[in-house]
Structure 1
Amino acid sequence: MKIINLTVELIVGFFYLFLIVKFVGKKLINQISPFTFIASIVFGELLGNALYDHKAGVFYIFYSMTIWGALLLAVEFLSQKFLKFRGVVEGNPSALIKNGVVDREALRKNRMNINQLQSLLRQSETFSIREVAFCYLEANGSISILKKSKYQKTTQEDFNMQSQAVAVPVTIIRDGEVLWDELHELGFKDTWLKSELSTHHITDYKDVFIAEWLEGDGLFVQPY
C-alpha cells in the first residue's frame, strides 16, 4: 500500500512541478538572482519532504506547491510592475572597475577582495586588470566585462599577423604587500621594483593597491 501511495505521489508531484515551472518561467531554472536561487531550493525541498513524509498525502503536496508557486508568481508580477520592488528582490549590478580603475569601495560593499576579483576575471578569460575598461558584478554573482579597445578580440588573420608567444600577467603587489616569490621568479630584485614604482611617483609599497607585470607590456600599477 505504501508503494502504491508513493508511486501516485511521485507521478502527481512530477507533473505538477512541471506545470508550475512552466508558469513561473525560466528565471527559476536559470537562478539569475539570489532570490530565485533560494526559491528553487525551497521549491524542491517542499516536494521532496512531502513525498517522504508518511503523514503528508497528495493533497498536502498540491497545497504546499500551489502556495509556493502562487507566491513566486506574485513576486514576478510585482517585479514587472514596480521598479523599486524589482531592485529589492533581484538586486542591482555593481561596477567593480570603472574606466580601468578598480573601485575599492564597491569591492568592500560586495564583501569582495582583489584576489576574488582576479579569480572571476580569469574565469572570464581575462588575465589582467589592465585589459578591463568596465567590470560589473551581476546580481547572480557572475561578472560582465567590457575590455579596453586594444584588448578586444580580433583574429590575427584579420591583419595577416604572425603568431606571437603568449605571456601570463603576474601580480607582484597586492593590497600593499609585495609578493616576493613571484618577483624573484620573474628574475627581478627590490631595486628594480623601487625604480619602476618611482616612474609612477610611488615611493612606498604600501601605497600600491595592485601591481601587475606583463612581458612586453611592462608594469601596471594602481595606487590606493
Structure 2
Amino acid sequence: MNTYFSLFTEAVLGLVILFILTKILGKTQISQLTPFDFISAVLLGELVGNALFDPDAGIMEIAFVVIVFGTIIYFVEWLTQKFKRTRALLEGSPSIVIYKGKMIRDVMKKNKMDINMLQQLLRDKDVFSLQEVEYAILESNGKLSVMKKSDYQTPTRKDMKLAQQEVKLPTLLINDGEIIYDNLKEKNLTVEWLQEQLELQGYRSVEEIFVAEYTKGEDLFLVPFINRNHEKWQ
C-alpha cells in the first residue's frame, strides 16, 4: 500500500511541477514547438517517468531533477530573447522551399523534405496544386506557411472596394444548459433579457439550450439539445 501511495504522491508532484514550469515558460512553448523544445519535452518527460519507477528516487529527487532541467530550459529561452544570434542555432530558422512559384530543391533536400511531404503540408493549407503557390516557407516548428499567387487568393473587402465593417467578437452566454453570468454581466445583459430571447425563438428555459452565442446587433445564436431521434429537445 505504501508503494502505491508513494507512486501516487510522486506522480501528482511531477504533474504539478511540470504544469507550473509550462506556465512559467509561456503559451508559445505549446503552440510553437522548436527542435530544442521537442528535445526538452522528451527528456523532461523521460526524467520524470524514470524517477517515478526508481525505488531510490523520492519526492525530493523528482522535484530537484525537474527544477534543474526547467531552469536550464528557462535559461535557454532567456538567452534566445537576449541574444538574437543564438536563435538560429537553438530555435532554428525558416526555410523558403517555394520561391516565386519555383521549388528550391536544395532547401528541400537539406530539410529532408520530398515532394510528397510538401504536397501533404500544402493540402493542410487547402492548397491542392503546386501551381497555386507563390511562396512557401517551412517554419522552424515544422509547419508550412503559404502565400498563394494573386490569381488564387481569396478577394478581400478592400479588393472589392467595399466599405469597412466593424469586427464583432461573439460571446458565449449559455454553455451546456447553464448561464455564464460573467459574460452576461460583461455585455451589460440581464437574465430576463436572455429569457425573452429564448422565448422569441420558441424555447421555454435555459436547460433546453446547449450553446447560446451573442453578437451585438445580431439575433442570439442558439444550439438546442437534441434527443436520440434528432428532434427538438422536449
TM bin, normalised by shorter chain, reads 0.5 to 0.7
Alignment match, 1:102 = 103
Alignment match, 2:122 = 121
Alignment match, 2:54 = 53
Q: Is the CA contact 1:28–1:37 (under 8 Å) kept in the aligned structure 2? A: no
Query: What displacement does 1:46 show?
Result: 1.4
Residue identity opposite 2:150 in structure 1: S
TM-score by length of 1: 0.65
Query: What displacement does 1:8 show?
Result: 2.0
Residue identity opposite 2:82 in structure 1: K
Residue identity opposite 2:90 in structure 1: V
Distance 1:111 1:19 in 2: 35
Residue identity opposite 1:47 in structure 2: V
Alignment match, 2:91 = 90
Residue identity opposite 1:148 in structure 2: K
- Give 1:34-53 correspondences, 5 Å limit: 34-53=35-54
**Residue-by-residue CA offset, 1:134-184 (whole Å, 9 max, x unaligned):** 0001111110000011101249xx99xxxxxxxxxxxxxxxxxxxxxxxxx
Distance 2:28 2:54 in 1: 29
Q: 1:31 to 1:52 in 2, by over 3 A?
A: farther
Distance 2:33 2:71 in 1: 19
Distance 2:154 2:148 in 1: 9
Query: What displacement does 1:123 show?
Result: 2.1
Residue identity opposite 2:86 in structure 1: F
SS in 1 for 2:134: strand
- Give 1:54-203 correspondences, 5 Å limit: 54-154=55-155
Alignment match, 1:189 = none
Distance 1:11 1:141 in 2: 32
* Matched-pair identity in %: 42
1:27 aligns with 2:44: no
Q: Is the CA contact 1:27–1:36 (under 8 Å) kept in the aligned structure 2? A: no
1:15 aligns with 2:20: no
SS in 2 for 1:56: coil
Query: What displacement does 1:31 show?
Result: 4.5
Q: Is the CA contact 1:29–1:40 (under 8 Å) kept in the aligned structure 2? A: no
Q: 1:146 to 1:16 in 2, by over 3 A?
A: same
Query: What displacement does 1:111 show?
Result: 2.0
Please provide the CA RMSD for this pair. Answer: 1.8
Query: What displacement does 1:3 show?
Result: 2.0
Q: Is the CA contact 1:100–1:134 (under 8 Å) kept in the aligned structure 2? A: yes
